[in-house]
Amino acid sequence: MVVVLAALAYLWGALPLGYWAVRRLTGQDVRLASGYNLGLENTLKRLGPGPASLAWGLDILKGLVAAWVGGLWGLSWGVGYALLAYLGHLYPPRRLAQGALLRGRGAGVLLGLVLGLHLSGLSYLSTLAILVTAGGVFLWSRYASLAALSIPAGLALAVSLEPLPGWAKLAAWLLPMVTLWRYKENIGRMLEGTEPRLGDPPPLPSPKQVVCAFMIHPLTLDDLFQSPRFRWARPLVKRGLLSPKLVENLAEAIRPMKVGELRGVRTRDGREIRCYLISAPLLPHQITSKPELATQRAIQGARLARELGCTVVGLGAFWSVVGEKGRRVQEAVPEIQVTNGGAYTAGTVRAAIPGILAHFEQEGRSLRQATAAVVGANGVVAFGIARQIAPLVGKLILVGRNLERLEKSATSLQQNLERKGQPVPELVLSLDIGAIREADLVFSATSEPGPVIFPQHVKPGAWIYDEGVPPDVDASVKEVPGVRVIPGGVVRPPGAMQGNLDLHFGEGAVPACLAETMILAAEEAFERKSLGGETKSENIQFFVERAEALGFQVVD
């Protein structure tokens, strides 16, 4: 009988009573339009005090009834039933989950559990201490999530003081452990300073606010330690107590999480763009060597972005090439728009190159007699550069990793120039990066996890336009006499952008692929998103024009 009732306690906790009541009363599914899951404050602001109070009250009722029924066999069973009901609320069976996003974190259920355990024998003083502590934490911090975390912690301490069997005390301590796991994102946001406090506007899309997400990853272990969630590991690695390899192995087991936020971007028409930075902490070589794991993490990141209320998620740096350059991610998560940012990246390159070539000639150097090289010519962006500069130079060297694809690209390039009646340069194809040694102009846009261009590969006086992220050009190249290295694909969003992470693009600047994510979310022109290896010219032009209209500027 006790076992049957225990199963019923779990199922009772799994019932989405608040969701059912609010859906029937208002006709709205607030879970699908809610930043950071369905919560009391978001429901209150979106639907008003009546539906919010009803949903909150039903959550309290769930916890109270479960703990009280268990308490009919004594306080020990009440504690066990309380744990089962809370697990049911957080992790319901698939049929009761309604196929939607994750449940709210259950602060109301936790409050109900305390009241139910009081009816089951928990002392008046212990119950009062738990509730007063939670209220004090809430007023002091203005973090509802921190107040919710204090409830199971206080309950576990109170139960530990009761003369109960060991298994009941273990169940009591499992409750705060489960709560900590469920609130881990809130804890991370509190450490980063991006968790909304009482009274802050909910981070939801509105006529005045655009909400999007962008997936990033650390380029080095130092980047990983930027986040407060992982900063504790830095001194352990420096002292040799934790090996970098072990950190990398641990990173492979971590699901995507929100590690930062960009605020203060304000378009010329007065809208604010908020962009959440989501990271699965894989290093570049891990993403390239384990494509299936990387695709899985990108899919999970897109789901998290949808859960956070975003309409668009962008795939940055090496995420942009996983899952067939985003196609598999979009197919797995059709509820949110996915872009790899290729169109506006190509647009910023197209916008920057005329200025670079003009400056080159102003120094008395002839383009018609110059040799140019394009590194990564198998890629969409790099081949776009090749098409743009081919009719202007005397010789063009295309460097890639696949000779057959290079030959097809060269044939396509030559036919296109002849059809337009433009000059056709001498074309050289190579798989050896050393072939760029004779180039006066080098344009590089690869997806390599580290530098590919070193001092021995460039001649003195060469100009190098580096579109790679991370950079394709090693820092030592700048020591070659006369060499000029120009970073590419950098955009300054409108307004006074602020963030908590260094993205390595300079203060107030972002990569073009992130800017495309913002523009796509602001314009809601989802048919323009960049997916797969093909980038349409009309989409490139669209992002160039809309970026200018909204106030985005390409950094020269």
Tens-binned pLDDT, residue by residue, of the chain (556 aa): 666 777 888 888 888 776 776 667 666 655 544 444 445 556 666 666 677 777 778 889 989 999 999 888 899 999 999 999 999 888 888 665 554 444 567 888 999 999 999 999 999 999 999 999 999 999 998 888 899 999 999 999 999 998 999 999 999 999 999 999 888 878 877 877 777 787 776 666 667 889 999 999 998 888 888 887 888 888 998 888 889 899 899 889 998 988 888 989 999 999 999 999 999 999 988 998 999 999 999 999 999 898 788 899 999 888 988 998 899 999 999 989 999 988 898 888 878 888 888 888 888 888 889 999 999 888 777 888 888 889 999 999 999 988 998 999 899 999 989 999 999 999 999 999 999 999 999 999 887 777 899 999 999 999 999 887 778 899 899 999 999 998 888 899 999 998 888 888 888 999 999 999 999 999 999 999 999 877 777 888 899 999 999 999 988 6
One-letter amino acid at 454 equals F
Nearest Cα neighbor of 456 from 437, 441, 438, 442 is 437
- Kindly state the tokens that stand for 239: 């002292």
Q: How many structural domains are present in the chain?
A: 2
For residue 470, tell me if it sits in a domain.
Answer: no
Q: Do residue 307 and residue 166 come from a single domain?
A: no
Lay out the sheet containing 272-279: strands in order across: 337-339, 312-315, 209-216, 272-279, 257-266, 495-499
For residue 13, tell me if it sits in a domain.
Answer: yes
Quick one: pLDDT at residue 137? 93
For residue 316, tell me if it sits in a domain.
Answer: yes
Give how far Cα 483 sits from Cα of 6, 372, 486, Å: 73, 14, 10
CA separation for the pair 519, 487 (Å, rounded): 22
CB atoms within 10 A of CB 517: 32
Q: Do residue 96 and residue 143 come from a single domain?
A: yes
- Kindly state the tokens that stand for 45: 């602001």
End-to-end C-alpha distance for the chain, whole angstroms: 74
For residue 365, tell me if it sits in a domain.
Answer: no
Q: Do residue 232 and residue 159 come from a single domain?
A: no
Q: Do residue 15 and residue 149 come from a single domain?
A: yes
- Kindly state the tokens that stand for 53: 């109070």
Give how far Cα 195 sits from Cα of 145, 190, 499, Å: 9, 5, 14
CA separation for the pair 185, 101 (Å, rounded): 15
pTM of the model: 0.73
**DSSP letter string, 246-290:** HHHHHHHTPPPEEEEEEEEEE-TTS-EEEEEEEE----HHHHHH-
Residue 110 near residue 179 (C-beta atoms within 8 A) = yes
For residue 456, tell me if it sits in a domain.
Answer: no
| Helix segments in 338-402, DSSP class H | 342-362, 380-389
CA separation for the pair 206, 220 (Å, rounded): 36
CA separation for the pair 92, 114 (Å, rounded): 21
Q: Do residue 179 and residue 241 come from a single domain?
A: no
Q: Do residue 44 and residue 186 come from a single domain?
A: yes
For residue 439, tell me if it sits in a domain.
Answer: no
Q: Do residue 155 and residue 50 come from a single domain?
A: yes
CA separation for the pair 317, 297 (Å, rounded): 14
Query: DSSP assignment, residue 298?
Result: H
Nearest Cα neighbor of 102 from 303, 332, 334, 335 is 303
One-letter amino acid at 459 equals K
Q: Do residue 186 and residue 312 come from a single domain?
A: no
Q: Do residue 132 and residue 264 come from a single domain?
A: no
Q: Crossing angle of helices 107-119/144-160, nearest 10°?
A: 30
Give how far Cα 255 sits from Cα of 135, 184, 251, 336, Å: 32, 12, 8, 19
Q: Do residue 214 and residue 179 come from a single domain?
A: no
Q: Which domain holds residue 165?
A: 2-192
Residue 239 near residue 260 (C-beta atoms within 8 A) = no
Lay out the sheet containing 510-511: strands in order across: 510-511, 490-492, 553-554
Q: Do residue 157 and residue 273 come from a single domain?
A: no
Please give the distance of CA 311 from its chain centroid, rounded to a whole number: 13
Q: Per-residue b/e over 109-118, b at no fewer than 16 CB within 10 Å? A: bbbbbbbbbb
Strands 490-492, 553-554: pairing is: antiparallel
For residue 72, tell me if it sits in a domain.
Answer: yes
Q: Do residue 235 and residue 182 come from a single domain?
A: no
Burial, 256: exposed, middle or buried (Cβ in 10 Å; 0-12, 13-18, 19+)? buried
For residue 227, tell me if it sits in a domain.
Answer: yes
Burial, 97: exposed, middle or buried (Cβ in 10 Å; 0-12, 13-18, 19+)? middle
Quick one: pLDDT at residue 429? 94
- Kindly state the tokens that stand for 302: 């897109």
Quick one: pLDDT at residue 192? 73
Give how far Cα 346 sits from Cα of 234, 380, 387, 537, Å: 37, 8, 12, 9
